A and B are shown apart, each in its own frame.
Chain A
C-alpha cells in the first residue's frame, strides 16, 4: 500500500496521527456463496475476508463491512476487471468511494488509550488484533477501525465531511498526553 503525503499530522508523547487520502471502493454482492468468495480470493491472491469483521491484505487491503459487502482499499478502476470476472453471473456492484473518506493513521504506545477516549469498542489485543476490523462510533462519527500488525497502531476510516471535526477532536483528546 503506497503511502500518500499526509494532509495533516499531530504528534504528542507516545502518539502520532497522520491524516491521508486513501483510494477506496465498496463491493456489494447479493447473497454470495463459497464459490464466488473463492473466485475473489484467487483473483486478488489472498484469502477473501468472508468472516464478519475480518481484513485480508494482499496487493489490495480488503475489509468486511456487512454480509455481502466489502471495502477495497483501491480505486474502482484497477479492481474493476478482476471483480467483474470473479463475480460473473452474480448480482453485484462496485463503486468508487475514494472522495468520500479520510484515513487516519494512529501510532504509538498511547494509540489504544486515545482510541478508548473516542469509542466504546473493546480494543484489547485479546479480542481486537491484526486481521480484524470493526465499524463503530468514534468521536460520535461512524468509523472503520483496523488494528495494525505492530499492535500499537490503528487505521481509522471516517467520512471526509467529518475531517475537520475529527482533527479538532484529536487535538483536544491528545492534550492530556502532553501533561
Chain B
C-alpha cells in the first residue's frame, strides 16, 4: 500500500487516489495536422521503465486535484510530489 503525499491534503492512503499514467507528455499540435502515427504514439506509447517514473495521480476521494508523483516502479518508493504546472526537476 502506498502512502501518497497529496500537495493539498498531505499523506493519504493509496485507496483515495487514482493513477493517471505517465506525466509530462506533450500533446502533439496542431490537432488538424498531426499524423495518425504521432497521435497513436501520444495516446498509446508511453515509457514503462524499471525504476523511476514521473506519473500523474488524482486525489479522487479527497480534494479531487491532479498532481505529479515520481515513483520507483520496482520499490514503490516516492521521492517527489509536485503540482501540475510546476517544473519537473
Contact = CB atoms under 8 A, between A and B. Distances in A.
B63 A66 contact: yes
Contacts of A66: 8, 63-65
A121 B8 contact: no
Interface residues of A, number: 13
B51 interface: no
Interface string A40-76: 0000000000001100000000000111000000000
Interface string A17-46: 000000000000000000000000000000
Given A52-B63, A135-B62, A135-B63, A67 B13 contact: no
Given A120-B15, A137-B15, A67 B61 contact: no
A165 interface: no
B13 A120 contact: yes
B24 interface: no
Contacts of A136: 12-13, 16, 61-62
Interface of A: 52-53, 65-67, 120-122, 134-137, 142
